[in-house]
Homo-oligomer: A and B are copies of this chain.
Amino acid sequence: MAIMDQYVAILDALRFNKMYKNDFFLTWEKTQDEIEAVFTVAEALKALRVNNISTRIFDSGLGISLFRDNSTRTRFSFSSACNLLGLEVQDLDEGKSQIAHGETVRETANMISFMADVIGIRDDMYIGKGNKYMHDVVNAVDQGFKDGVLEQRPTLVNLQCDIDHPTQVMADTLHLINEFGGIENLRGKKVAMTWAYSPSYGKPLSVPQGVIGLMTRFGMDVTLAYPEGYDIFDDVKQVAAKNAAESGGSFQVVNSMQEAFKDADIVYPKSWAPFAAMQERTELYGKGDTAGIKELEKRLLAQNATHKDWTCSEELMKTTRDGKALYLHCLPADITGISCKEGEVDASVFERYRDPLYKQASWKPYIIAAMIFLSKCRHPQEVLMKLEENGRERIMTGGCAL
C-alpha cells in the first residue's frame, strides 16, 4: 500500500477546489473542509519527507518574503516551506530597496512578482494596516495578472497580520490533533487562551485572536481570559462565538486566569497589548510622535506590572485537567528567572513542555507548504501520488543498494 493512500482518501472526501489559485489571509475565511485539507496535505508532505521522498513540485520559482518585523521562527519556517517545494526565497528588504522614493504598493508588488509564485508577508504591528496591506498587494498582483503583466499570479501567505496569525495557529492546532490522536478527539476539550504578564509591551494580538478564531471550530470549549483593559479585537470575538455555536463547542471571555485554567486540557498563556493601546500606538506612529510613543510604552509597562500574578505557575497548572494540561506557546516565551525576572511562565513548567513546544513549532513549515501546495496544484491528490511514484530521493545517501 502506498504511503499517500490514506491522505488521498481523506482529501477525496473534502471540497477545497476554491483554494486553487487562491490566497490565505484569515482562517475564518476558509471552510472547514479547506482547513482540514491544509492539515492533511501538511501531514502528507511530512510523510513523504520522512521517507526521503522529494516533494519538489517547483523546478524553479521564487518565494518572496517581506518581514516588517523581526522574526526567526516564521522566517525560517517560510524558507523551509519554500525549499521543501523547490522555491528559492528572495527577501524584499525594504532597507535595501528604492521603495522610499515614493512608489506605490501596486508598483512594488508587480515589480517583485515577475517570477514569484508565492509572497509571504509579516506585518503585524499596526492595527487596521497589516491585513489591509496584504490585500493591497494581492489586488495589485491580481490586476497585474489579469492585465498580462504577470505570467503567473503569486499566492499570498499571511505570515502574521494585525488580525490573525494563520500559519501559527494552524500549526498549533495540527499539534493538538497529533497530541490528542485525531481531529475528532478535540471535541469537548477545554482550551484556555489567557493573557500572561511580560516585562515587554506591545506584543501583537494576532496569536490570541487567531487561536479563538480557529480553535472554536472543532467543538472545543474555548475560554479567553485577560485582565480588565486587555481586550482584543471585538470582531474576532464575534467570529469565535459564531464558530463555537456552529461547531457545538463554546466560547467565553473571563477576567480570571484561574477560571480559564480550571480543568483545562490545553493552556496557552501569552502576553499581548490591549487593542485600544495598539490603536493608539498605530496613530502615534502615523504621526511620527516619538514622545507620545515613549509615553505610551511607559504607561503600558506600568499597566502590565500591575498584573504580575497572571503567570503560568506550577500552582495554576495543578488546577488543569489531572494537572496535566498541554501547554502551548508560539515562542519565544518570557520565562520567569530565565529570560526575565518575572514572566509568562514558571521555568519548571516551560522546561517540562519543551519537547511538545518544539513539536508544535515544527508543524509551521508544513502548514505553510500545504497552503502553497493547495493554491498551486490543480489536482493535489494526483500530485501527491505522483511524487511518491516518482520516488526521487531527497538525499542521495547511497544507502539502498549496499
Contact = CB atoms under 8 A, between A and B. Distances in A.
B402 A382 contact: yes
Among A73, A84, A92, the one with the most B-chain Cβ atoms within 10 Å of its Cβ is: A73
Contact of A358 (B77, B99, B110, B397): B110
Interface string A306-347: 000000000000000000000000011011001110000000
B377 A102 contact: no
Contact of A88 (B83, B114, B359): B83
Contacts of A55: 60
A401 B382 contact: yes
Among A75, A376, A383, A399, the one with the most B-chain Cβ atoms within 10 Å of its Cβ is: A75
Among A50, A72, A101, the one with the most B-chain Cβ atoms within 10 Å of its Cβ is: A72
Contact of A331 (B77, B107, B395, B402): B107
A205 to B, nearest CB: 17
B75 A97 contact: yes
Given A70-B96, A70-B98, A77-B114, 19 more contacts: A57-B395, A57-B396, A59-B395, A71-B96, A72-B111, A76-B92, A101-B200, A102-B334, A102-B338, A102-B340, A111-B331, A111-B358, A114-B362, A149-B358, A149-B359, A376-B395, A378-B402, A379-B398, A379-B401
A76 B114 contact: yes
Given A76-B112, A98-B71, A361-B111, A396 B379 contact: no
Contact of A58 (B148, B332, B395): B395
Given A54-B59, A70-B96, A378 B358 contact: no
A339 B102 CA distance: 5
A135 interface: no
Interface string A175-191: 00000000000000000
13 contacts: A57-B397, A59-B392, A70-B96, A70-B97, A71-B96, A76-B90, A76-B92, A101-B334, A102-B340, A107-B332, A111-B331, A111-B358, A147-B355
Nearest to A364: B114
Q: What is the copy number of this chain in the assembly?
A: 3
Given A60-B83, A394-B58, A395-B376, A96 B67 contact: yes
A102 B85 CA distance: 32
A81 B174 CA distance: 35
A202 interface: no
A387 to B, nearest CB: 8
Contacts of A108: 72
Among A107, A144, A340, A364, the one with the most B-chain Cβ atoms within 10 Å of its Cβ is: A107
A62 to B, nearest CB: 6
Contacts of A79: 62, 88, 90
